Structure 1
């Protein structure tokens, strides 16, 4: 395998945020471009799920009660020669993104892009638990968004962190 591939699925129920349109090809291209820039090789799954399901996953895997915007599940397996590498899974809740974008990334489009990039970086091993890790991760997020989402500098209203 010489490149990264991304499988995208919209697994939301019909009644979850009917106003949030998801363009699977667009988010697939963004994730694949980020993987390419980061020189990752393998397969990634990007799934858009409803708020109830992401809350269940958040409780089950993170021990946190309530919905979140994005969860990443990196694969810890050692690559095997000749077998496609599974990089991991990213799940995003468009409903949560829709609710928080104004106080975060500025627009719903930028919020979804940030969540895709954030998830990709987590799958590739980045973290933000420590101050230095967070600075490195935010720097990579911004660079990837500028290269593959905006094709230029970040808009003035963009923020990595939620407004308090």
Structure 2
């Protein structure tokens, strides 16, 4: 699995942890081991431009996802396919402000947003109440099990 992180900001974050989380989420969802994912960290100006261009909404947002090959999770009935998963674009300064509001660390917020972005790349959405419930429950489970296993050595 190829996971690339490109930090285009001066914000210092643990890029290795973003890769570990991404690999964990993709493995748990049985995404093909040859899938490719890109994570890009941008400043508020760049995020605002993307937000306006793609969502027609003002101001910067926390995370945006740009799927490429429309890959989906594997299952007992569906064999996963290799390909380009797409890009998760994060805005660390927006994430840090949200973390203060939520009462946790900026690192934890970036991990949450990365998980959220990956789920969007895999076709999950939260436009409808039932979709939101399913997506947010999966997001929570993935993040909590990842965080619970943080102390374990990498394989």
Assess same fold via TM > 0.5: yes
User: Secondary structure, in 3 states, of the residue corresponding to 1:149?
Assistant: helix
What residue in structure 2 maps to residue 87 of structure 1? 85
What TM-score do you get using the length of structure 2 for normalisation? 0.83
- Runs of 4+, deviation exceeding 3 Å: none
**Given the superposition, is the C-alpha separation of residues 150 and 54 from structure 1 closer, same or farther in structure 2, using an over 3 Å criterion?**
farther
Give, in whole Å, the separation in 2 of the partners of 1:128 and 1:149.
23
Is the alpha carbon distance of 1:118 and 1:77 closer, same or farther for their aligned partners in structure 2, counting shifts above 3 Å? closer
C-alpha deviation, 1:77, in angstroms: 5.6
1:146: Cα distance to partner?
1.3
Q: 1:77 to 1:109 in 2, by over 3 A?
A: closer
State whether structure 2 residue 45 is matched by structure 1 residue 47: no
Q: Name the counterpart of 2:76.
A: none
Cα shift at 1:150 = 3.5
Task: Identify if the C-alpha distance between structure 1 residues 40 and 74 changes in structure 2 by more than 3 Å, giving closer, same or farther.
Answer: same
Which structure 2 residue ranges, 5 or more long, are not aligned? 72-80, 151-155
The one of 62, 71, 77 equivalent to 1:69 is 62
Q: What's the Cα RMSD here?
A: 2.1
Q: Is the 1:113–1:149 Cα contact (8 Å) retained in structure 2?
A: no
Q: Which residue of 1 aligns with 2:7?
A: 10
| Larger relative helix fraction | 2
TM-score norm. by structure 1 comes to 0.79
Could you tell me how far 1:5 is from its partner in structure 2?
2.2
